[in-house]
């Protein structure tokens, strides 16, 4: 394992960039040596994929070496009470007809208090790695939305807003109720972000992919649209089947993806390899 930095030494002050100043340039090569200490590291084009607990990778990254964080953490959701949330992801997020289709994934069993503590921990470590003014954007659902907005602030990010992802009418209707048709991106910046660059929409309508490589797969197109205002390298501490990695490849952004599950790490590697080969052909 790589040597961990002391947390105190790594904390950059909040708001160190003067208004209007450009963000510091970052290079993906700065990560090569730091990440090579992990047992499974795969380079595919300008993507670096690491199989590890993201907490360890976040601690190993050089302060200010990441342009932005975009990710889809395990929500630890899918039930109103602690007992229901502790069930396997397939029991919570899949109808019985689909339960056999996808492998289970890691880290989806926290109660509210431990989800808040854990979210604040990874978000704080992510902030150390991100350039001043850089963006952190993490998906959540309606149940975890309040706690996710708490976590991003506890972690020292300047909370900037909530971006709804409208999954369209493909989402299952429930009679007598509003359809749970949206998920949400909670986002903040590492202190002041200069008012410069492109404008991005504040809400997105995009159907869930028809063919999925992960139980909670997100669409590549959505990720591409969300990445339109960020600089790389893009850090994705909860990679799953790597739609953010594919989006980064399409946009020419360096990408670092971390996945704990051996199964989904393999899925992500194969997907990015195939995508890389297809683009090279
Ligand atoms: C919600 S899923 C992401 C799915 C992804 N958006 C996709 O479209 O395939 C979260 C992923 O994070 C992984 N994970 C959970 N805890 C982790 C941790 N501590 N470190 C690294 N990966 C973790 C899970 O195994 C899971 O694959």
The residue whose CB lies within 8 Å of the most ligand 1 atoms, and thus the one to mutate among 39, 239, 269, is: 239
Q: Which of helix, strand or coil describes residue 70?
A: strand
pLDDT at site 85: 66
pLDDT at site 149: 98
pLDDT at site 162: 98
Give the rounded distance of the alpha carbon of 70 from its chain centre.
4
- For 52, the domain range is 27-280
Instruction: Give me the count of residues in the chain.
Output: 281
**What distance in angstroms lies between residue 238's CA and the mean position of ligand 1's atoms?**
4
Tokens 């994929």 locate to 49
Is residue 171 assigned to a domain? yes
Is residue 19 assigned to a domain? no
pLDDT at site 38: 86
The residue whose CB lies within 8 Å of the most ligand 1 atoms, and thus the one to mutate among 61, 106, 219, is: 106
**Among candidates 262, 263, 267, 218, which has minimal Cα distance to 70?**
218
| pLDDT tens digits in sequence order for the chain, 281 residues long | 333 333 333 333 322 333 344 434 344 456 766 787 888 999 999 999 999 999 999 999 999 999 999 999 999 886 666 667 677 777 767 666 666 677 777 777 888 899 999 999 999 999 999 999 999 999 999 999 999 999 999 999 999 999 999 999 999 999 999 999 999 999 999 999 999 999 999 999 999 999 999 888 999 999 999 999 999 999 999 999 999 999 999 999 999 999 999 999 999 999 999 999 999 88
102 lines ligand 1 (CB under 6 A): no
**What distance in angstroms lies between residue 258's CA and the mean position of ligand 1's atoms?**
8
Does the CA dihedral 104-107-109-115 come out positive or negative?
negative
> Distance (Å, rounded) from C-alpha 27 to C-alpha 43?
15
Is residue 14 assigned to a domain? no
Per-residue HEC secondary structure of 157-188 comes to: CEEEEEEEEECHHHCCCCCCCCCCCEEEEEEE
CB-neighbour burial class of residue 86 (10 A; exposed 0-12, middle 13-18, buried 19+): middle
271 lines ligand 1 (CB under 6 A): no
218 lines ligand 1 (CB under 6 A): yes
Q: Are 249 and 47 in contact (CB under 8 A)?
A: yes
CB-neighbour burial class of residue 237 (10 A; exposed 0-12, middle 13-18, buried 19+): buried
**What distance in angstroms lies between residue 112's CA and the mean position of ligand 1's atoms?**
18
Residue 17 burial (CB count, 10 A): 19
Is residue 214 assigned to a domain? yes
Is residue 21 assigned to a domain? no
Is residue 264 assigned to a domain? yes
Give the rounded distance of the alpha carbon of 174 from its chain centre.
29
Is residue 11 assigned to a domain? no
> Distance (Å, rounded) from C-alpha 158 to C-alpha 152?
8
pLDDT at site 168: 97
> Distance (Å, rounded) from C-alpha 71 to C-alpha 203?
17
Is residue 73 assigned to a domain? yes
Contacts of 83 (CB under 8 A, 6+ apart): none
pLDDT at site 217: 94
> Distance (Å, rounded) from C-alpha 154 to C-alpha 152?
6
Angle, CA of 237, 241 and 244, to the nearest 5°:
60
| Count of the separate structural domains present in the chain | 1
Q: Are 137 and 160 in contact (CB under 8 A)?
A: no
Q: Are strands 182-189 and 47-51 parallel, antiparallel or unpaired?
A: unpaired
Q: What is the largest CA-CA distance in the chain?
A: 56
56 lines ligand 1 (CB under 6 A): no
- The CATH number that applies at residue 123 is 3.40.50.150
Atom of ligand 1 nearest to the CA of 261: 25
pLDDT at site 260: 95
> Distance (Å, rounded) from C-alpha 143 to C-alpha 162?
14
């Amino acid at each position: 394992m790589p040597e961990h930095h002391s947390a105190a030494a790594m904390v950059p002050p909040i708001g160190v960039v003067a208004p209007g100043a450009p963000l510091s340039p970052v290079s993906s090569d700065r990560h090569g040596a730091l990440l090579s200490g992990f047992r499974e590291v795969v380079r595919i084009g300008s993507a670096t994929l690491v199989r590890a607990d993201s907490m360890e990778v976040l601690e190993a990254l050089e302060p200010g070496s990441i342009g932005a964080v975009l990710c889809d953490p395990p929500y630890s959701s899918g039930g109103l009470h602690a007992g229901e949330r502790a069930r396997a992801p397939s029991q919570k997020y899949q109808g019985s007809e689909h339960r056999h289709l996808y492998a289970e994934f890691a880290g989806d069993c926290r109660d509210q208090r431990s989800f808040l503590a854990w979210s604040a921990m990874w978000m704080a470590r992510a902030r150390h790695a991100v350039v001043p003014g850089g963006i952190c954007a993490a998906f959540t659902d309606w149940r975890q939305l309040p706690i996710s907005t708490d976590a991003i602030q506890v972690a020292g990010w300047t909370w900037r807003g909530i971006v709804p992802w409208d999954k369209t009418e493909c989402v299952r209707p429930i009679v007598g109720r509003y359809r749970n048709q949206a998920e949400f991106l909670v986002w903040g910046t590492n202190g002041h972000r200069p008012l410069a660059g492109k404008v991005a929409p504040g809400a997105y309508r995009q159907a869930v992919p028809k063919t999925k490589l992960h139980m909670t797969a997100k669409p590549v197109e959505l990720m591409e649209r969300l990445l339109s205002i960020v600089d790389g390298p893009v850090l994705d501490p909860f990679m799953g089947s790597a739609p953010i990695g594919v989006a980064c490849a399409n946009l020419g952004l360096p990408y670092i993806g971390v996945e704990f599950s051996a199964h989904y790490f393999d899925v992500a590697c194969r997907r990015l390899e195939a995508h890389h080969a297809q683009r090279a052909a």
